[in-house]
């Protein structure tokens, strides 16, 4: 049996997560098979089970990892005093719309997550709560409960608009969806 360098297992696991994350976000969870993930990762199908118990285990890990990265972006924005307007405009940009494989996992996968087992939905729910709390903290005006309410509305607007802008095949309409959603999200975010 071949011996691997220290850290090889972690590096291989990270690589599988990255490949699966991009494929899930680009094509959807149901459309992506383990064989395709492992082939793109340059590994055998059997190697998958060294790292994950099942496809659902992989889905949950991908979600948590991708949402933790998104959460870190929100933390960085908060720590660096980035205004909520910048966060909204960045999220609802044509660049983000066109980069589903590396973009927000919520917009790419939320409709499928609703059909997954409770453990996956629990992990998703926890991360959503964290992201909403960070968005609320980014809003400066109003009591905490009011900022949370507005953050939920803003985030729901952002996710839904990004999904719609990706779904339509009319580029002009897609741009209109993004532009109008920016205005609506800013109105919600800045409402006293």
Q: H-type helices in 28-117, by residue range? A: 34-41, 45-51, 55-79, 84-91, 94-97, 105-113
Pull the structure tokens for residue 51: 């790292």
pLDDT at position 7: 76
Is pLDDT at 170 greater than 90 in this prediction? yes
What DSSP state is assigned to residue 85? H
pLDDT at position 1: 46
Q: What is the CA radius of gyration of the chain?
A: 18
Q: Does domain 8-190 have CATH number 1.10.357.10?
A: yes
CA distances from 42 to 7, 30, 46, 78 (A): 18, 21, 12, 38
What angle is formed at CA 67 by the lines to CA 116 and CA 146, rounded to 5 degrees? Answer: 100
Identify the band that residue 105 occupies on the pLDDT scale cut at 50, 70 and 90.
very high
pLDDT at position 8: 80
Can you tell me the mean pLDDT for 35-46? 95
Can you tell me the mean pLDDT for 143-160? 96
């Amino acid at each position: 049996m071949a011996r691997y360098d220290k850290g090889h297992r972690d590096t291989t696991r990270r690589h599988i997560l990255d490949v699966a994350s991009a494929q899930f976000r680009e094509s959807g969870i149901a459309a992506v098979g383990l064989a395709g993930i492992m082939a793109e990762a340059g590994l055998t199908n059997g190697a998958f089970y060294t790292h994950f118990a099942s496809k659902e285990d992989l889905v949950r890990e991908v979600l948590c990892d991708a949402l933790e990265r998104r959460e870190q972006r929100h933390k960085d924005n908060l720590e660096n005093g980035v205004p909520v307007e910048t966060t909204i405009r960045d999220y609802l940009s044509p660049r983000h719309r066109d980069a589903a494989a590396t973009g927000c996992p919520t917009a790419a996968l939320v409709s499928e997550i609703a059909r997954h087992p409770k453990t996956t939905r629990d992990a998703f729910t926890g991360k959503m709560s964290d992201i909403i709390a960070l968005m609320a903290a980014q809003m400066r005006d109003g009591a905490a409960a009011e900022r949370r309410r507005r953050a939920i509305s803003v985030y729901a607007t952002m996710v839904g608009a990004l999904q719609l802008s990706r779904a339509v095949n009319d580029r002009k309409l897609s741009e209109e969806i993004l532009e109008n959603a920016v205005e609506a999200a800013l109105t919600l975010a800045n409402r006293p």
